[in-house]
Amino acid sequence: MAAKMVETGMIKMAMDLLYKPDSCITQLLVMLLVNLTQLNAGISSLIQTGDDKMQGLYVMKLVRSFCRSSNESRDDPFDHVGSILVNISQKEAGRKMLLDPKRGLLKQIIRQFDSAQPLRKKGVSGTIRNCCFEAENQLQDLLLISEFLWPALLLPVAGSKIYNEQDTSKMPLELASALLIEREPVQDPEIRVQVLDAIYLITLQDAGRRAFWSINGPRILQVGYEDEEDPKVMEAYERVGSLLVSGDGTEEPSTETSK
């Protein structure tokens, strides 16, 4: 049924209705898009594959709504856009669109990770993780937004410890500032696994590992691992850790801080 809906142009209809003034079925339309983008054909339709003039317009509109509506209200229908972004970033064309530095979409999306809404937060972490599958070819596009990317990836797995200035001296300001004070832990283990997966995909690349060492990232994972109790999350930490240890020539002893 969903495939038939995509075939008959339902995504265009939903987007047209969604952005009509005084639309009173916003949540219904957003949820419809969540369901339809679980299909490859639905993703292609939403990212407007093959339409050079319009390609990406729907996605840009949805990202704008996702970012503008983050008023922490409990029933914000645009929170579910995070699920749409996760869906489209499962497809290479979707990832490339989100990573395109000229569009700047991923940078906007990442900044929503500060939201207190679990659904929104999980949508952001899942989208980042999926986009990191392009790290082999688009690492520089990811590192261009590292001042936003590293806090989103590392704060959820940094544990509850207040870090010292020696630990944080090489970190981006936003990340360092957050680690020097008490902070709310990210309770959802799925989010912690997703960000660790993203770190793993970045650090699979030599330049990604170097960038990670340069901000003292391994120290954060060391501290976070000590606090972690969830077996699946611990496994994700260990996977990154083994990669960092085996990555020849990427370790910088000066970045390691004794406990």
What is the total count of domains within the chain?
2
Note whether 104 and 190 are same-domain residues.
no
Give pLDDT, residue 256. 35
Statement: residue 233 has pLDDT above 70:
yes
Domain boundary (110, 144, 178) is at: 144
Note whether 45 and 66 are same-domain residues.
yes
Note whether 191 and 230 are same-domain residues.
yes
Statement: residue 249 has pLDDT above 70:
no
Statement: residue 72 has pLDDT above 80:
no
Confidence of residue 131 (pLDDT cuts 50, 70, 90): very high
Please give the Cα distance from 208 to 243 (Å, whole number): 12
Burial of 55 (C-beta count, 10 Å sphere; 0-12/13-18/19+) = middle
Note whether 150 and 139 are same-domain residues.
no
Confidence of residue 189 (pLDDT cuts 50, 70, 90): very high
**Predicted confidence (pLDDT) per residue in 86-99, tens digit:** 999 999 999 999 99
Statement: residue 83 has pLDDT above 50:
yes
Note whether 28 and 110 are same-domain residues.
yes
Q: Specify the range with the lowest mean pLDDT, choosing from 24-28, 99-103, 246-250.
A: 246-250
Note whether 134 and 7 are same-domain residues.
yes
Domain boundary (93, 111, 144) is at: 144
Confidence of residue 74 (pLDDT cuts 50, 70, 90): low
Please give the Cα distance from 146 to 142 (Å, whole number): 7
Phi, psi of 42 (to 5 degrees): -70, -40
Q: Which DSSP string corresponds to 83-116? A: HHHHHHTTSHHHHHHHH-TTTTHHHHHHGGGG-S
Q: What percent of the chain has pLDDT over 90?
A: 73
Note whether 8 and 110 are same-domain residues.
yes
Structural domain boundaries enclosing 221: 145-259
Domain boundary (110, 128, 144) is at: 144
Note whether 122 and 155 are same-domain residues.
no
